[in-house]
Structure 1
Amino acid sequence: MAYQNLVVNNQGYIRHIVINREEKLNALNKQTLAELHDAVTEALAADTVRGIVLTGAGEKAFVAGADISEFANFDAAQGRALAYEGQTNVFDLIHAAEKPIIAAINGYALGGGLELALACHIRVAVASAKLGLPETSLGLIPGYGGTQRLTHLVGRGRALEMILTGDMISATDALEYGLVNHVVEQAELFTKVESILQRIASRSRSAVSAAIKAINASLGSVKLGFETEINLFGQCFGSPDFKEGVSAFLEKRKPNF
């Protein structure tokens, strides 16, 4: 498949998937999510691929969020469908992948961008990266698994503070929280990511797959949590705060909640 918004290439047995919307800070729109579903599915099916690197084009942003202009006029049902389809087709696909997927966080990872990184197995960030879930400033909550996966990684208190304030944190803080595995300088990002994948690739394929499944199972039954997030995310689209939050964002002003 020819991609409009992705660049896909192989470095030996490592598949690089690059979100290539640098002028939009690699924001996730409907087309990009569809291409990610296809690219990740194909990489998981390819016998020659032992690991996947997911990153954004340029040095400013991994993914700076969802493309808000696409859903600014959605109602509650459309909002719920947006979350459900995104989670099912992309974020859950990555989370449950039986090959290691590492997020190479080369800059801003915000909103849906951080949720994309959270779905990956391992996260490596550059020292200048900023991470956050600013959805409450739009009258929303995270809708691509952020309320669940962030809590699993950093604990209830840290997750509540990040989500309720919507504030960004530094890469150093993200490392302290357990949100990222490593922090490196920009020039070292892909060397570090590929060195991790090379070590994993030297191990038994079947054992790596089994370990991923077993570790994911340790999270217990999370279906209810994800369903609750999807439903509440959809309900936010029917609130006056959502209309004000999105209008303020598009008009480049502070919302008046």
Structure 2
Amino acid sequence: MAAALGGLGLLYGRFRLAAAVAATSSALGPRAPVRGGAAAFPSAGRGYGSEAKEEEELRVRYLDEEHKGIVVLGLNRSHAKNALNKNLLKMMSKAVDALKSDKKVRTVIFRSEVPGIFCAGADLKERAKMHSSEVGSFVSKARATINEMANLPVPTIAAIDGIALGGGLELALACDIRVAASSAKMGLVETKLAIIPGAGGTQRLPRTIGISLAKELIFSARIVDGEEAKSIGLISHVVEQNEAGDAAYRRALALAREFLPQGPVAMRVAKLAIDQGMEVDLVTGLAIEEACYAQTIPTKDRIEGLLAFKEKRSPRYKGE
């Protein structure tokens, strides 16, 4: 019982925090949506050069029309294979902070806008220039940013259309669902001299594929392709790469569209119940689920859902 109450305290604490964040959402400023749905996204022949401005290293796209509610965060550091540097982490943190309090956002897709690469991990060239006292701070910032991604209240999908190494795979592991092209390569190693993940990989990988197999992959610094990643449970969907090089993104977009008709409040509390429930015992998890369900009772989502269910029921159940 005490454990259940502790779980509820943690849950309601997060609800209070979410309310506080929502109250300050007006300070985030307006966003500029990109019109045109999926057609607005470059695929083959994207050709982003090495002279990309810093503010373009992360492209935030708010889709519309039939994709309204889907937001795409596109990594765009072609000259550095989307390696995570201080600026990119800062931009990611800022984008995620804005998204978490935006009630119009229904699903977030993380992808690369650089052909053949998802993310090559930490920017080792930048790290080599850091003083030893700066490295710990950088790793902490990377871990905090990826944790912020994992804690987004809406579903998140990683579209892996290329190499995802080290911090790149850790970024993908922080997403709820991972989709990869069959040719994609992924692993928790940046170099043979740095096989220890620093942004949550030693914790999220075993929770995803199991302890023994996670140890094997980390100890061996093994890199797997999309097919093997699917077979071990590292990703949910594997697709054949297309000529445009964005097959995983297209599959992620189709998956995100499946989420759009669902009630937004129900989606958010379902994610919260699952994420928190997996970290506690079953009794506490059930208490968390009950508290989450209570959040949907007075909502428009639930009322409309019940009405729709009643209309679709087989005639033999009517009047019962």
- TM (normalized to structure 1)? 0.79
CA 139–19 in structure 1, closer or farther in 2 if over 3 Å, else same? closer
Q: CA deviation at 1:140?
A: 5.2
1:154 matched residue in structure 2 = 209
Partner residue, 1:191: 250
Please state how far the C-alpha of 1:136 moved relative to its aligned partner: 6.8
Superposition pairs for residues 36-75 of structure 1, below 5 Å?
Answer: 36-72=92-128
Amino acid across the alignment from 1:5: E
Q: State the AA in 2 paired with 1:213.
A: L
Partner residue in 2 for 1:210: 269
Residue-by-residue CA offset, 1:110-152 (whole Å, 9 max, x unaligned): 0000000000111000111000011572245101000000010
Q: Counterparts of 1:13-24 in structure 2 under 5 Å?
A: 13-24=69-80
SS at match of 2:214: helix
Aligned residues between the structures: 220
Tell me, yes or no, if the aligned pair for 1:134 and 1:165 is still in contact at 8 Å: no
Q: Secondary structure at the match of 2:157?
A: strand
- Contact kept in structure 1, 2:118 and 2:161, CA below 8 Å: yes
Maintained 8 Å contact 1:175/1:181: yes
Determine the structure 2 residue equivalent to 1:5. Answer: 57
Q: Could you tell which deviates more after superposition, 156-165 or 211-220?
A: 211-220
Greater Cα radius of gyration, structure 1 or 2 = 2
* Runs of at least 4 residues off by over 3 Å: 73-79
Q: CA deviation at 1:3?
A: 2.2
Please list every run of 5 or more consecutive structure 1 residues that lacks an aligned counterpart in the other structure: 222-257
The one-letter amino acid of 1:164's match is: F
Structure 2 counterparts to residues 1-257 of structure 1, below 5 A: 3-12=55-64, 13-72=69-128, 77-88=133-144, 90-135=145-190, 137-139=192-194, 141-187=196-242, 188-220=247-279
Measure the CA separation in 1 of the matches of 2:225 and 2:121. 17
Q: 1:142 to 1:97 in 2, by over 3 A?
A: same
Query: The residue matched to 1:3 in structure 2 has which SS?
Result: helix
1:81 and 1:103 map into 2 onto residues whose CA distance is 26
In structure 2, distance between residues paired with 1:23 and 1:78: 23
Name 2:307's counterpart in structure 1. Answer: none
Question: Measured at CA, do residues 107 and 87 of structure 1 come closer, stay the same or move farther in structure 2, by a change above 3 Å?
Answer: same
Whether the aligned pair in 1 keeps the contact of 2:111 and 2:249 (CA below 8 Å) is: no
Q: Which has the higher contact order (CA 8 A, sep 6+)?
A: 1
**TM-score of the two chains, using structure 2 as the length reference:** 0.64
What is the aligned-residue RMSD (CA, Å)?
Answer: 2.0
In structure 2, the partner of 1:229 is none
* Counterpart-to-counterpart distance in 2, 1:136 and 1:64: 10
Give secondary structure in 2 for the equivalent of 1:104.
strand
Gapped regions of structure 2 (runs ≥ 5): 1-30, 32-53, 281-320
- Cα pair 2:100 2:152 within 8 Å, conserved: yes
Equivalent residue, structure 2, for 1:250: none
